[in-house]
Amino acid sequence: MNAADPEDPREERPGEQPDDSGRPTDDIDAEFARLMEGISLEQDAPLTVEDVLSDSSEEDEVPSVAVIATSVASAKALAGVVRLGREARTDGLDIPVGTRTHDSATGAIAVGPLAETAAHDLAAIASTALQRNGIVLFWRRGDRMTATRYKNGERGEDISPAIVLGAVDDLVEELLLGATGLDELEEGLDPSALSRTEALAWIASGKKRR
């Protein structure tokens, strides 16, 4: 039997077995490793059913509602308070689009179809002008409902919504549970539409609860 020609590229080297195409498997492994460089197939945690079914685009379509309960006498006064609160902030927070103030039996409320971050921005703005008078932000999207205290422009503790819902007008719970929709309320008052002079006048004229 003749010795193998050292120049013959078809000669098999030890540890290299050709695949059906005639290419050594070591070359294929090296090529695959090169293509997969920088790509990790590992996950920090195993996928769950929720991970597979959840879709951020679908989540964005789930309606959300924010309700800020206050002891302010009227919606007119609260609109002025929110407007001045925005002016008093030094961090650039602005009144979220869609915010409206309404009267309720236990004090004026500020409401809107706000995302969670925007809802907390509104609560910070409103509580800035109210200084030592605390307020409660209720927020809901889907099955998730939260309640957070705010005072003097600062976020306080998160509390169980059930604990504080009993102390506010039933309208707040109806809005959060969807029994009453935001579109079923009267137009309400838009704090962002006020000038500083108007805000001061509205606070002065709206001190007494109607």
Q: What is the pLDDT of residue 34?
A: 65
| pLDDT given at position 44 | 52
Query: What is the reported pTM?
Result: 0.70
- Domain extent listing, the chain: 65-205
| pLDDT confidence tier of residue 206, bands split at 50, 70 and 90 | confident
Q: At residue 97, does pLDDT exceed 60? A: yes
Q: Is 67 helix (H, G, I), strand (E, B) or coil?
A: strand
User: pLDDT by residue (tens digit) across 60-77?
Assistant: 578 899 999 999 999 999
HSE on the CB side for 74, CA within 13 Å? 14
Q: If you average pLDDT over residues 173-194, what whole number do you get?
A: 95
By DSSP bridging, strand 109-112 and strand 100-102 are antiparallel
